[in-house]
Amino acid sequence: MRVTAVSSDRGPVLLKLARASLREALGEMPAAVSTEDWLREHGACFVTLTQYGKLRGCIGTLEAHRPLIEDVRANARAAALHDPRFAPLAPYELTHTRIEVSLLSDMEPVVCEDQADLCAQLRPHLDGVALRYGALRGTFLPQVWQHLPEPEDFVRELKHKAGLAPGFWSDEIKVYRYSVTKWREIEASLH
């Protein structure tokens, strides 16, 4: 069963779960977290870590394949310790690391003729986009539109992230869109 209804009261539970997983991964005793029934439903999420407004780690799952409680825990640990763009998070960094949890909708295929058609179909600030070409893959959460507000730039950078040249296009490229419901810690909740 997949998480179907998303209510605003779930955000604090997901954020506490992610922070408890980080604490445990860094050798601290985690706080007790809720184990409500909806956490046992399958869900896909991304956990993003920032420090002073800058990215410090981001790992996630595009498709629901395990209970949400396991997905949040695994992605929080992976964002802290296994994002290849960053050194593993050190325990002293935990107090100034902010967590954001993005719960993903199901992915929807985007049928497009070429890159211009794809750009015309994208909904800035709403769409998360996943791109696949053979074994090459890349995704941007909708939050990335804040830094790349033009669809052409968004797609070009997404292709770069996937390991493709900016001008490359093939009929074998598969594109999917999804939306997210996200929650972010505020400074007072970091401790």
Q: How far apart are CA 188 and CA 13, in angstroms?
A: 16
What type of residue sits at position 149?
A: P
Judged against a pLDDT cut of 70, whether residue 45 lies above it is answered with: yes
Q: What is the mean pLDDT of the chain?
A: 92
Q: What is the pLDDT of residue 6?
A: 59
Whole-prediction pTM value?
A: 0.88
Other CB atoms within 10 A of residue 121 CB: 14
CA 63 to chain centre: 11
Q: How far apart are CA 158 and CA 66, in angstroms?
A: 26
Q: Strand 136-140 to strand 128-133: parallel, antiparallel, or no bridges (unpaired)?
A: antiparallel
Q: What is the mean pLDDT of residues 50-73?
A: 96
- For residue 154, give the H/E element and its range: helix 151-162
DSSP code string of 31-90: PP----GGGGSB--EEEEEEETTEEEEEEE-SS--SBHHHHHHHHHHHHHHT-TTSPPPP
Q: What is the pLDDT of residues 121-153, one digit of tens each?
A: 999 999 999 999 999 999 999 999 999 999 999
CB 103 within 8 A of CB 39: no
Q: What is the pLDDT of residue 3?
A: 52
Distances (CA, A) of 17 to 12, 40, 41: 8, 13, 15
Q: What is the pLDDT of residues 1-35, one digit of tens each?
A: 455 555 678 999 999 999 999 999 999 886 777 77
Q: What domains does the chain contain, in order, with CATH numbers?
A: 10-104 (3.30.700.20), 108-178 (3.30.1490.150)
Q: What is the pLDDT of residues 141-187, one digit of tens each?
A: 999 999 999 999 999 999 999 999 989 999 999 999 999 999 999 86
- Among residues 7, 58, 12, the alpha carbon closest in space to that of 183 is found at 12
Other CB atoms within 10 A of residue 134 CB: 12
CB 134 within 8 A of CB 172: yes
